[in-house]
Amino acid sequence: MRVVASGINPSDIETRRGFGAKAMPFSWIIPHQDGEGVRYRGGIRRLALRAVRQAGRQRVLRGRASLRVPAMTAHRCLFADGGVRGKRILVQGGRGVAGNAAILPAKWAGAWVAATVSRDEQADVARAAGADLVINRHEEDVS
């Protein structure tokens, strides 16, 4: 796999420090959940996500992914307990990466979506993603 881009995700730092589990025993392992690369398999170009770098070599843990970690997080939060059709969803941080990534699939799945933002210019981003109601948390009572 040829790594095209790599970023540091907060979970990478947590993994290194042992947050929620035992700390990583080897300092030469560099997790980067937002790593992205290209791999050719059977003549087909595939994107790979969530690579782990070991001693300068790349190993793909999850291939053929086209969504980044925040989008997968948003999907999991929305649909882990089943469908959302007809439900009312509150997305905290509708302008943020994971929050914004939650609005569109929630709408596609038939939910009514409210999203919070902290500035007026962020409201346009949340509305463009499909939020039915946008609440500026500094100016309005979210509850």
| 20 and 45 within one domain | yes
pLDDT (0 to 100) of residue 71:
80
Q: Is residue 7 part of a domain?
A: yes
Q: Is residue 102 part of a domain?
A: yes
Q: Report the number of distinct structural domains present in the chain.
A: 2
* Claim: this prediction has a pTM higher than 0.85: no
> Mean pLDDT, to the nearest integer, of 94-106?
90
The DSSP-derived string for 117-128 is ESSHHHHHHHHH
Q: Is residue 129 part of a domain?
A: yes
Contact 65, 50 (CB under 8 A): yes
Cα–Cα dist 43/61, whole Å: 20
Q: Tokens 């997305």 correspond to what residue?
A: 91
Last residue of a domain, one of 44, 63, 82: 63
Q: Is residue 143 part of a domain?
A: no
Question: What is the layout of strands, in order, in the sheet containing 88-91?
Answer: 88-91, 112-117, 133-136
> Mean pLDDT, to the nearest integer, of 24-32?
60
Last residue of a domain, one of 63, 87, 112: 63
Mean pLDDT over each residue of the chain, to the nearest integer: 77
Q: Tell me phi and psi for residue 19, to 5 degrees.
A: -65, 120
Residues 6+ apart with CB under 8 A from 2: 37, 38, 39
CATH number at residue 111: 3.40.50.720
Last residue of a domain, one of 15, 34, 63: 63
Please list the residues that pair with 53 across neighbouring strands. 30, 58
| 29 and 8 within one domain | yes
Higher pLDDT, 18 or 118: 118
**Domain coverage including residue 31:** 2-63
Query: Is residue 61's pLDDT more than 50?
Result: no
